Structure 1
Amino acid sequence: MLQIDLWKRVLIWLICAAGILLALPNAFYTRVEQANDARAALEVGQDSPELRARAAQWPEWLPSGLVNLGLDLRGGAHLLAEVRVADVFEARMESFWPEVRDALRPERAVIGTIRLLPSEKPDELRVRIGNPDGMDRAIQVVRGLARPVQSLTAAGANDIDVRAEGDTLVITLTEAEKQAVTDRTVRQALEIIRRRIDEVGTREPTIQRQGTDRILIQVPGIGSAAELKEIIGTTARLTFNPVVSRTTNPNVRAGAGQKVLPAMDEEGVYYVIQAAPVVTGEDLVDAQPSFDQNGRPAVTFRFDTSGARRFGDYTRDNIGSPFAIVLDDEVISAPVIQSHIPGGSGIITGRFTIEESTNLAVLLRAGALPAGLNFLEERTIGPELGQDSIEAGKIATVVAFVAVLVFMVLSYGLFGIFANVSLALNIALIFGLLSLIGATLTLPGIAGIVLTVGMAVDANVLIYERIREELRTAKGPARAIELGYEKALSAILDANITTLITAVILFAMGSGPVRGFAITLGLGIVTSVFTAIYVTRLLIVMWFDRRRPKTIEV
C-alpha cells in the first residue's frame, strides 16, 4: 500500500525545516553580515554603542551563517604572483659560506689559502684554493658537509654537489635539493600570505598554488589590487648581521661574503655588513608594537630557544661592536652592543609612526616571506560589476525557475504543483547547505544552481511518466503511484550518480570558479534526489490519504 511511516514523515519535514532555517539569513544578507562583523569585533575587545546596535540587528538564537560571495560577485582584487626562489638559493649559499670556510681552515697546510669568489649563479659558491694540489682534500672536506635532501621524493640524495674547475672549488645545489627548496618555499609563502590576509579580516580569500612557483590570490571585498599588494608584497625579512663598517660613499665595494645596504632613517649613509646573519626573523616567536625609553614607537621581539642562544653568544663575544638590524635589505638601526643579552629579547627602534610599528609587528608575527614576489597579473573588480553579476544571476535563476514551474503545472496538473513545492524546498536546501559549510558562491556557482533547477524536475518527470504507464495497465491509483516510484528509482539514481561523479572530478581537478560550480552542482544533485524521492512522494501520500480518489490523472 501507498504509505510512509510517521517517523519518516517527521524526519523529512525536519530536514526541510532545517534547510529553510539555515538558508534564511541569506534573505537578509546585509543585515546579517553587519551583525556578524559587529559580534566579531565585540569578541576581540572592541566595544561601542554602534557595534552593539549592529550586533542586535539579527537575533542570536537564529542561524547566522551566510553564503560567502566570490570575487566576481562581491568585487575585490586578483593577483598572480611568482615566488623568486632564486633569492632563496642565493641566501642559502651565502649562509653556507661560513660553514665551508670554517671546515677548510684547519686544512690550510694542505690546500693553502682560501678565498671566496663572486658567482653569477645564485645556487653556486666558488672558492679559490691557494694550492691546487690539495684540491682533492678540499673536495673531500666540503663533501663531508653535505646533508640528505629533506624530501620524500629524493630519498638518498645529497643537498650539494662539489667539483673542481682548475684552482677553484665549485659548490652547487643539486637538482633534488633545488626542487625540495622550491616546494618548501612556495608552501611557506602560501601559508604566510594566508596569515597576512587573515590578519586583515577579509572573508573567504582564494589562495592557491599554480604550477611550480606561482601563487594565485583572490580576495573578495578588498578595495584594489594595490591595497592587496601592500598587505602581502612586503617580504618583512628580518636579519641581525655583524657590521664591518659605516660609510657615506654609495660606491663602496663590499668584500667577499659582505654586502652594502642603505640606512633606512639616515639618507646618504650606508653600512657594509657580513652577508651571513647571526639570527633571522625565522627565529622570532613574538613581536609586539611598543615604545622605547624616549616614548617613540618601536617593536619589541623575542627569539625562540635556538635563536636566543645564538643571539646571546654573539652579544657576549662582541661587546663594543655595532650590530645591524636589517629589514628587507635596509638597515633599520645599528646599535653598539653594550652588554651580554642572554634572554633572547630586544627592541627595534627607528623613526616609526605608531601605525608603522603596528604593521611591522604584524608582518614579523605572521612570518617573513621566504622570497620576494613578482606580480605577473593584477586585476581589480569593482563592487558595481559584482552587483551586476548578482542581478544577472538572479534574473537567470528566476526565469529558469518560473519556466520550470509553468511547464510542470501545464504538463502534470496537481502533481506538477507538488513537484514545484519540492523544487522550492530544493533551492532552500541548497542555500542552507552552502551556508552550513561556509561555501563561496561565484558566478559559475550561480550557473550550477540554474542547471540544478532544470535537473531537479527531471526525477519527477521520470516518476510521473512511469505512473502514467502503470495507470494504462488498469491498476488502481495507489498501486500505480507505488510502482511508478519503485520502477523509476534505478533510472533516477543512474542519471544523478553519473552527474555527481562529474561534479566530484571537477572539484578535484579544478580551482576557483570551477570548484564553485562543482560544489553547487553536487549539492544540487543530492538535494534534488532527496526532494524528488521523499518530499514529492510525501506530498502525494498526504494528499492521497486525505482525498482517497478512485481515479487520478497525471
Structure 2
Amino acid sequence: MLDFPTWKRAWLWFLTLAAVAAALPTLGSLGGVSIPGPQVNLGLDLAGGSQILLEANTKQVARQRLESMEEDVRRVLRQASPAIRIGDLSTSNGRISFLLDNPSQVDRAREELLPLVNGSGPVREWNLEVVDGSRFVLTPTKNGLDQAITNAMDTATEVVRKRIDALGTREPTIIREGDTRISVQVPGLSDPEALKSLLGQTAKLEFKLVDTTALQSDVAQGIAPPGSEIVPYAPGTPLAGTSIAVKRLGGIRGDSLTNAQQSFDQRNNQAVVDITFDQAGGKKFADLTAQNTGKPFAIILDGQVLSAPNINEPILGGKAQISGSFTTESANQLAISLRSGALPVDLTVVQQGTVGPELGADSIRKGLLAMAVGSGLVLLLIGFTYGRLGVYANIALVLNVLMLLGVMAVFKTTLTLPGIAGFVLTIGAAVDANVLINE
C-alpha cells in the first residue's frame, strides 16, 4: 500500500474539499437553491439568449487610412522647417498624389515623409514614388492594408466586448470567424434587436467646422467646395432631410474621450449625453473653439449631423454636451457606445437568432437526465463488479466530477450541451482507469 506523508495527504484533501465547495453554488442553482459563490455559466443552448453574426466593411479601413495619411502628409510638410508647400492633393484611385511648389525640395520632402511611409511596425505600409521630378505618389501596400484590417478587427472585437459588458450580461461568447466576421452569443438576453442596435452603431463622433462659404443650392445638389464634404442631418433632428457642408480636415475625433454619461438638459429637460475629453483632446477642443469663436461647428455621429451650434465662446474645461432629440434609452445607449470606444469599421448584422429559455431549460433537463442515467448505471456496474473496491472507485468518480465542476466555476467557464456529454466521457475514461487498476 502506498504511504503518503501527512502533509501531502492534508494538501490533497484540502484541494479536493476546496474544489467540491466551489462546485456547490452551481449545483444549488441547478436545484433551485441560491448559494453565494462563483458558478459555471450556461451557454446559449442551455440558458437561451441571442446570437448575431457581424461582418466588417473592410473597404472602409482603406478609406480611413487614406484620409488619415492625407492629414498626416499635410501636417508633416507644413511643420517642416522651413515649410514645404504643395499644390492640390488628390486621393483618387486609392492613392495620394501631390505636386511640390518648389521642385528643389524633393529630397527634403522625401526625408520628411519616410517615417510616415515606413510606419511604426515591421510591415512597410506605403510605397513612395516621385514622378516627373516633383510629383509624389503614395500607394498603400497590400501587407500594410492586411495588417490594418487585422488591427481593426482586433479593436472591433474588444469594443464589442466592452459594450456587451456594459449591459451587465454574464459571460458573452465573442469570437472571430474568418478575417472579417465576429460571432456574438449572449446567454440570457432575449431581445436580439437591443443587441443589434447597440453593436450596429459605430459611435464615430466628430466635431467639424461648418463651411460657411458653401451655397445652399450647391449643398442641396451634393456639391461641396474644395476641401469640404456634404453631411446629412440625422433623422429625428429639426433639420432632418437636409444636409450641410463641413470641412474635411482640422476637426476633432471622439477617440480622445474619457467618459460619456446620459443626463438631462436643465433648460428643457431633454435627454443629452455629457462627454469629457482627455488632456490632449481637451486642449485640441479648446484650441478649436478659441480659434473659431462665432463660427458654427457640426457635431457628427456616424456620418450624420446631430446639431451645428455656433461657438459663442471658447470651451476650456474639456467637457461638452451632445443633444439631438434623444430618448433616455437612446442617450444611454450612445453613452455606452462612446465610453466603449468607436468601432474602427462599420459592422453589419448578417445573421441573427434567438434561443428561447424554454428550449434551454429542456436541454438542461434532458442533458442532466442522460448524464444521471448513464452515470448511475456506470456506478452500479462498478460497485456490483468490484465490491468494496468498487465503492472506493465510485467515490473517486463522484469527487472527480465535483472537482471538475468546481474548477470550471472558479475560472467562469461556459458549459454547453456538448460539455455535458464531455462530463459523461470523463466519467467513462475514469472508469476505464479504475477497471485497469482493479483487474
Task: Give TM-score, length-normalised by structure 2.
Answer: 0.86
Query: Given residue 210 of structure 2, which amino acid in structure 1 is its aligned partner?
Result: V
Q: Which moved more, 1:210-219 or 1:451-460?
A: 210-219
Query: Given residue 161 of structure 1, which amino acid in structure 2 is its aligned partner?
Result: N
1:199 aligns with one of 166, 183, 191: 166
Please name the residue that 2:127 is paired with.
161
1:145 equivalent to 2:113? Answer: yes
Question: In structure 1, the residue corresponding to 2:331 is in which secondary structure?
Answer: helix
Taking the aligned partners of 1:118 and 1:212, their CA distance within structure 2 comes to 26
Instruction: Decide whether the 8 Å contact of 2:272 with 2:331 is kept in 1.
Output: yes
Query: Given residue 243 of structure 1, which amino acid in structure 2 is its aligned partner?
Result: V
Question: In structure 2, the residue corresponding to 1:385 is in which secondary structure?
Answer: helix
Taking the aligned partners of 1:393 and 1:448, their CA distance within structure 2 comes to 11
Q: 1:20 to 1:100 in 2, by over 3 A?
A: closer
Query: Given residue 292 of structure 1, which amino acid in structure 2 is its aligned partner?
Result: D
Taking the aligned partners of 2:177 and 2:120, their CA distance within structure 1 comes to 22
Q: 1:457 to 1:10 in 2, by over 3 A?
A: same
User: Post-superposition shift, 1:5?
Assistant: 5.9
1:424 aligns with one of 386, 395, 398: 398
Instruction: Decide whether the 8 Å contact of 2:77 with 2:85 is kept in 1.
Output: no
Query: Given residue 179 of structure 1, which amino acid in structure 2 is its aligned partner?
Result: D
Taking the aligned partners of 1:3 and 1:363, their CA distance within structure 2 comes to 61
Please name the residue that 2:245 is paired with.
272
Question: Structure 1, residues 78-136: CA drift from partner, whole Å, max 9, x if none?
Answer: 223222233233123223334444666899xxx99722446243xx2344x498xx778
Query: Given residue 74 of structure 1, which amino acid in structure 2 is its aligned partner?
Result: A
1:335 equivalent to 2:305? Answer: no
Q: 1:180 to 1:7 in 2, by over 3 A?
A: closer
Instruction: Decide whether the 8 Å contact of 2:155 with 2:343 is kept in 1.
Output: yes
1:316 aligns with one of 274, 283, 290: 290
Question: In structure 1, the residue corresponding to 2:224 is in which secondary structure?
Answer: coil
Q: 1:226 to 1:291 in 2, by over 3 A?
A: closer
1:253 aligns with one of 223, 235, 254: 223
Q: Which residues of 2 match residues 468-487 of structure 1 at below 5 A?
A: none
Question: In structure 1, the residue corresponding to 2:231 is in which secondary structure?
Answer: strand
User: Post-superposition shift, 1:372?
Assistant: 0.4
Q: 1:447 to 1:320 in 2, by over 3 A?
A: same
Question: In structure 2, the residue corresponding to 1:253 is in which secondary structure?
Answer: coil
Question: In structure 2, the residue corresponding to 1:346 is in which secondary structure?
Answer: strand
1:125 aligns with one of 91, 96, 108: 96
Taking the aligned partners of 1:449 and 1:337, their CA distance within structure 2 comes to 65
Q: Which residues of 2 match residues 86-125 of structure 1 at below 5 A?
A: 86-101=59-74, 114-117=87-90, 119-121=92-94, 124-125=95-96
User: Post-superposition shift, 1:177?
Assistant: 2.8
Taking the aligned partners of 1:309 and 1:292, their CA distance within structure 2 comes to 25
User: Post-superposition shift, 1:437?
Assistant: 1.8
User: Post-superposition shift, 1:139?
Assistant: 8.3
User: Post-superposition shift, 1:63?
Assistant: 4.7
Query: Given residue 279 of structure 1, which amino acid in structure 2 is its aligned partner?
Result: I
Question: In structure 1, the residue corresponding to 2:267 is in which secondary structure?
Answer: coil
Instruction: Decide whether the 8 Å contact of 1:135 with 1:164 is kept in 2.
Output: no
Taking the aligned partners of 2:176 and 2:415, their CA distance within structure 1 comes to 21
Q: CA RMSD in A?
A: 3.0
Please name the residue that 2:258 is paired with.
285
2:319 aligns with one of 329, 337, 345: 345
Please name the residue that 1:17 is paired with.
17
Please name the residue that 1:209 is paired with.
176
User: Post-superposition shift, 1:168?
Assistant: 6.7
Query: Given residue 458 of structure 1, which amino acid in structure 2 is its aligned partner?
Result: D
The alignment of Structure 1 onto Structure 2 pairs a total of residues equal to: 426
User: Post-superposition shift, 1:308?
Assistant: 1.8
Q: Which moved more, 1:234-243 or 1:388-397?
A: 388-397
Question: In structure 2, the residue corresponding to 1:370 is in which secondary structure?
Answer: coil
User: Post-superposition shift, 1:358?
Assistant: 2.0
Query: Given residue 313 of structure 2, which amino acid in structure 1 is its aligned partner?
Result: S
Taking the aligned partners of 2:89 and 2:68, their CA distance within structure 1 comes to 13
Question: Structure 1, residues 521-545: CA drift from partner, whole Å, max 9, x if none?
Answer: xxxxxxxxxxxxxxxxxxxxxxxxx
Which structure has greater strand proportion?
A: 2
User: Post-superposition shift, 1:329?
Assistant: 0.6
Query: Given residue 145 of structure 1, which amino acid in structure 2 is its aligned partner?
Result: L
Taking the aligned partners of 2:43 and 2:220, their CA distance within structure 1 comes to 49
Q: 1:66 to 1:214 in 2, by over 3 A?
A: same
Q: Which residues of 2 match residues 353-364 of structure 1 at below 5 A?
A: 353-364=327-338
Taking the aligned partners of 2:31 and 2:16, their CA distance within structure 1 comes to 24
Q: 1:2 to 1:319 in 2, by over 3 A?
A: closer
Q: 1:143 to 1:464 in 2, by over 3 A?
A: same
Q: 1:8 to 1:340 in 2, by over 3 A?
A: closer
**% identical aligned pairs:** 38
Structure 1 stretches lacking a partner, 5+ long:
33-56, 466-554
Please name the residue that 2:41 is paired with.
68
Question: Structure 1, residues 427-452: CA drift from partner, whole Å, max 9, x if none?
Answer: 22221222222111112211110101
User: Post-superposition shift, 1:23?
Assistant: 1.8
User: Post-superposition shift, 1:404?
Assistant: 1.0
Q: Using CA pairs under 8 Å that are at least 6 residues apart, name the structure with larger relative contact order, 1 or 2.
A: 2
Question: Structure 1, residues 489-546: CA drift from partner, whole Å, max 9, x if none?
Answer: xxxxxxxxxxxxxxxxxxxxxxxxxxxxxxxxxxxxxxxxxxxxxxxxxxxxxxxxxx
User: Post-superposition shift, 1:415?
Assistant: 2.1
Q: 1:3 to 1:179 in 2, by over 3 A?
A: closer
Query: Given residue 178 of structure 1, which amino acid in structure 2 is its aligned partner?
Result: L
Structure 2 stretches lacking a partner, 5+ long:
none
Taking the aligned partners of 1:284 and 1:93, their CA distance within structure 2 comes to 23
Please name the residue that 2:233 is paired with.
263
Instruction: Decide whether the 8 Å contact of 1:240 with 1:277 is kept in 2.
Output: no
Query: Given residue 229 of structure 2, which amino acid in structure 1 is its aligned partner?
Result: K
User: Post-superposition shift, 1:235?
Assistant: 0.4
Taking the aligned partners of 2:320 and 2:375, their CA distance within structure 1 comes to 64
